[in-house]
Structure 1
Amino acid sequence: MSSIINIKYLLGTIIFLLIGCQEDDVSVGAIIAPTNIQVTADIVGSDESNPNGDGSGTVIFKANAENAIAYQFVYNGNVQSSPSGIQEYTFGNTGLSTYQVTVIAVGAGGVSSSTTVEVDVLVLYEPPIELITMLTTGSWRIKSEVQGHFGLGPVEGEEPGQFFSAPPNSKENVGMYDDRYIFGEDATFTHITNNENDDPTLNPEGTVFGRIDLIDELAGPGTGTVDGADVLNYPYSDYTGSWAISAPGGVETISLTGTSFIGYYTGGNHKYELYKYAEQPANELILRTTDGNNEFDWWFIITNKEESFQTTFNSLLWSDEFDVEGAPNSANWSYDLGTGTNGWGNGEAQTYTNDPGNVSVQGGLLRITAKAENGGYTSARIKTENLFSFTYGRVEIRARLPVGGGTWPALWMLGANFETIGWPACGEMDIMEHVGNNQNNISSALHFPENNGGNAIVKEITVPGVSTDFHAYSVDWTPEEIVFLVDNQVYHRFQNTTATPFYEKDFFLILNLAMGGNLGGAIDPAFVSSSLEVDYVRVYQ
């Protein structure tokens, strides 16, 4: 869409020689407020016959001022920084409308001057109401669970991902899957860079994913991790810009302002074509954008529906419902006994026993109880080693967790060849870990050679009420993928390969409650006792 200043236009380029809302030209040493702000507005497609543009709604603003070192553009309440003084907007109201854009010229020491200009823009395209309704409903995400959710191909290529098409969930932990995109009805575009750290309070900090060098345009507080031509987990906080829909050449296109982006930062013009929009399923869009190097077209599949996980494992293979009072069923469980010097280490403070006061089945629940006694701590650790192990399946454990600083319950699995090849070569899958010093923060982890201990593959999620309510902690384990869930909500995915110890190997189950140690941390001096309660353990194949 194009607009034209109400003062004059000349072949689509309007020059503003305005000094509006300008501060006094006061010099204090080397600090001088910018003066003589000049703004030009190039209305795309404007000529003598069409002074308000070709109907695309696009206007390119260029600002210049004496003593200015940077510029900011303000439209619709959103501020866009532009060191170069160039900013492009695509306006979205169908018909001829007047828009106000404020240009702020920033000088040394942060002193500034500003002017507000009006442009009259003609927009001929009217987006389908169903498209606007869909875009402004809920929050959008990369549809990570499908093939081709992220890809690249030649510029102006006809098919998505001709050069590369990402397998499902193959870009876990790079700073993309936890992003959310909100298209506001007021034309605001909000990018949440980590939706997983906003509960119970909002946290704007996050990371994003992008192209090497191009991502430097974001000017974030860190550098991220370089992986070939990609930059992983580039530190970047939530932000707000603007969005509009146009249809250049008849192709519906989302235009974002400033450095706003979706999925993977590629620079360029920040326009995302909706590929075959009318042919896509409901609540799903395929986007294409050309990067700032004019090297590739980048493709994304986005959806405004959160993932609903469907397991392929539905036949019960093994379970313990803990419905027989007394000691745990000896056909299912054995014990690890003694202190950490016996092999589990981690600086833990407890001694493991098989005493009924530390481990028993009561009222349909398994209770593993940690106690402060005899100047130390006792607890229990039970396992299915040499009694039950399996390869691939779904494990679901319904449990209520202990409370207290220093408590460290874990529901996990260890490779059945542990005694032969040792740890971490055998592999370890932590279905659920919790520490009382970080109440309601649940984590899952994978330990294997080169990724173990403090370098394990870890993911966290906040789950309110873990010590007051029962929750289902699960892992879905296939040759292709390991998925961790709480109450059937996916929060951690790992792409399994033949190079990991999780491929075609048996694992057995372990349930324990540790005290203190490397993860459990400081033990509350007032701690007396607390229990890990397990309703059931079920394994499906």
Structure 2
Amino acid sequence: MKRYIIPIVSVLACMLLLLHSSCQDDDNSLGALIAPADLSMEARIIGVDDENEYGDGSGLVEFKVSAQHATNYKFVFSDKSSKNTSNGTYTHRFTTPGINDYVVTVLATGTGGISTSKTLTLRVFSEFDDPETKSLLTGDGSKTWYIAKALPAHLGVGPSGTFTPDYYSAAPNEKDECFYDDAMTFSLENDGSIAFEHDNKGETFFNASYLSVAGGSGGDDQCLAFDTSGKKYVNLAPSSSEAPGTPGTQFIISDGGFMNYYIGTSTYEIMKIEDDYMELRAIMGSDDSLAWYLKLTTDPEGGGGNGGEEEEMLQTQFDELVWADEFDQGSEPDAASWNYETGNNNGWGNQEKQYYTEDNAVVEDGTLKINLIAENIDNFQYSSSRITTQNKYDFQYGRIEVRAKLTEGGGSWPAIWMLGSNFTEVEWPGCGEIDIMEYKGNEPDITHGTLHFPGNSGANGLTQSTGVSNAATEFHNYTVEWTEEQIIFAVDNKIFHKFDNTSDTPFHQPFFIILNVAMGGTFGGAIDPAFQQTAMEVDYVRVYQ
């Protein structure tokens, strides 16, 4: 008969617990206070069997405590971590490699703060170890990290089932200063533990779902006064997910500690870590369908350059030119390739302020110029053009490359994009939309690449941005590499957005091309009252398969 070791506190352990229990006396000055009574604690080490007396190496232990009159329970562990819980259940991971003894104390708190405690000693086996990550995180001494505010996507969010910020990524320096001025220091102590200190300069950037934690309210993320002082501790543990190419390690900050953005979690998965650069992923505490991403650097200025992040260059699999317009013939777009869409069409669904004409798209000096002009036309104050290849040219899969110089002026909104050719049959967003490039004159150093389709349309489009410091004064190549498996966005062949093109997206059919310059609206934003005229210049449009 097999002998099973049951990793639940035994009768002998329970007797030991009674020896370690203590109660505070009532504070009569506060009235009659009742201490929590009949405090019991059970501990189950995960994976105990005949061959693994101290567990399966995961270091996981399930705790369950209960007491009469208790309103809260606090676990205090000898690995310098702690946890508050109202229901008395918690699973803790002990991470010191090997077989080690740990002391666990639970404090049951009742009304008025009076508490009862109980202590237990456990022997647990953990086989996890990542000395390289510990060394990179702390510098084998002390290392301070800052948000890499100069980098695109230093903050991002996406679905928790993937490993990219498909929903949103912040442009360089986009957020409030309180998001950027935090200093987070990891220090290696003599006993091998990792200490954590967070200097937030008195304010923390709170996710809208957690404003009440700091006494705030409203529907937007906010900077709120919040105390992050005091030393906390960090435990390294195996990642709970299997993100490709990661070190397979996460860290957990004790006592409710967090990195600079408050999203209701203390657990951060390390996606990438180098001497001076780190990428983190964290599941939001109030919504486990969302994963948030942070880029950090040891540069107090926020990671000028690439902050240790190597730029990924596009390696195309399409090199046969199948269609092009070089805009070197005639004085207007070639009618064999392009259509005009005219009017305002009720703001084109985006509250846009321009009126499209056939006169604002001209070909001269080897480029197409789409002119945006401040002038009165059919009761609108701005004129522009929008041209498409609908019913004249479309394609499915390949590389489209557009070389263009963008607009100047607040409110201007040039776009290079594509719609599914079944647009008139299924309408938008069912047809799918690929925004190769979108740009705001109000944010002249940033360009965007976005996908719209059912469930991710309008403001919920899957977008990424990248810095292009001279987009309005120099020509750049805006590219999409589109395959059955993936859609990749790049500027000057530098990749900034990747999307897994699964079988249930609409991106498995022919698409046609659109070039336009809008004014104002939901994306273009506030219009400069002094605006007069600008243009998007297009050197060429080329499609390779």
TM-score by length of 2: 0.53
Counterpart of 1:372 (choices 361, 371, 374) is 374
The reply on whether 1:176 has 2:161 as its aligned counterpart is yes
- For 2:517, the aligned partner's letter is L
SS at 1:495's partner residue? coil
Specify the alignment match of 1:351 in structure 2: 355
List aligned pairs for 1:452-531, cutoff 5 A.
Answer: 454=458, 458-465=461-468, 468=471, 472-479=477-484, 482=487, 484=489, 487-496=494-503, 500=506, 502-505=507-510, 507-531=511-535
Specify the alignment match of 2:413 in structure 1: 408
The reply on whether 1:313 has 2:318 as its aligned counterpart is yes
Contact kept, 8 Å, 1:37 with 1:64, in 2: the verdict is yes
Specify the alignment match of 1:72 in structure 2: 74
In structure 1, runs of 5+ residues without a counterpart are 139-171, 181-192, 208-239, 247-252, 261-269, 271-303
Change (3 A) 1:417 1:338: same
Specify the alignment match of 1:446 in structure 2: 452
Contact kept, 8 Å, 2:333 with 2:362, in 1: the verdict is no
Shift of 1:413: 1.9
Change (3 A) 1:430 1:41: closer
Shift of 1:316: 2.4
- For 2:318, the aligned partner's letter is F
Change (3 A) 1:116 1:446: same
Task: Tell me the distance in 1 between the aligned counterparts of 2:535 and 2:22.
Answer: 69
Shift of 1:309: 7.0
Specify the alignment match of 2:85 in structure 1: 82
The reply on whether 1:339 has 2:358 as its aligned counterpart is no
Shift of 1:196: 3.9
- The CA deviation string for residues 60-96 of structure 1, in whole angstroms up to 9 with x for no partner, is 4444445312323344565434333233434233455
Specify the alignment match of 2:396 in structure 1: 391
SS at 1:10's partner residue? helix
- For 1:442, the aligned partner's letter is H
TM-score by length of 1: 0.54
- For 1:91, the aligned partner's letter is F
Shift of 1:368: 3.0
Task: Tell me the distance in 1 between the aligned counterparts of 2:364 and 2:84.
Answer: 63
* Aligned Cα root-mean-square deviation (Å): 5.6
Contact kept, 8 Å, 1:27 with 1:33, in 2: the verdict is no
Task: Tell me the distance in 1 between the aligned counterparts of 2:396 and 2:15.
Answer: 69
- For 1:516, the aligned partner's letter is G
Change (3 A) 1:195 1:435: closer
Shift of 1:520: 3.4
Counterpart of 1:532 (choices 523, 527, 536) is 536
SS at 1:490's partner residue? strand
Task: Tell me the distance in 2 between the aligned counterparts of 1:409 and 1:257.
Answer: 44
SS at 1:80's partner residue? strand
Change (3 A) 1:19 1:134: closer
Contact kept, 8 Å, 1:16 with 1:38, in 2: the verdict is no
Shift of 1:515: 1.0
The count of corresponding residues between Structure 1 and Structure 2 is 393
Task: Tell me the distance in 2 between the aligned counterparts of 1:31 and 1:406.
Answer: 64
Contact kept, 8 Å, 1:14 with 1:40, in 2: the verdict is no
Shift of 1:461: 1.6
Change (3 A) 1:365 1:26: farther
Task: Tell me the distance in 2 between the aligned counterparts of 1:245 and 1:335.
Answer: 56
Contact kept, 8 Å, 1:70 with 1:84, in 2: the verdict is yes
Change (3 A) 1:314 1:73: farther
Change (3 A) 1:135 1:257: closer
Shift of 1:459: 0.8
Shift of 1:538: 2.5
Change (3 A) 1:443 1:72: farther
- For 1:495, the aligned partner's letter is T
In structure 2, runs of 5+ residues without a counterpart are 138-156, 180-204, 210-232, 240-247, 257-266, 268-308
Task: Tell me the distance in 2 between the aligned counterparts of 1:514 and 1:521.
Answer: 11
Task: Tell me the distance in 1 between the aligned counterparts of 2:18 and 2:314.
Answer: 56
Shift of 1:478: 3.9
Contact kept, 8 Å, 1:309 with 1:490, in 2: the verdict is no
SS at 1:394's partner residue? strand
Shift of 1:388: 3.4
- For 1:461, the aligned partner's letter is Q
- For 1:68, the aligned partner's letter is A
Task: Tell me the distance in 2 between the aligned counterparts of 1:70 and 1:393.
Answer: 59
Shift of 1:539: 1.2
Specify the alignment match of 1:15 in structure 2: 17
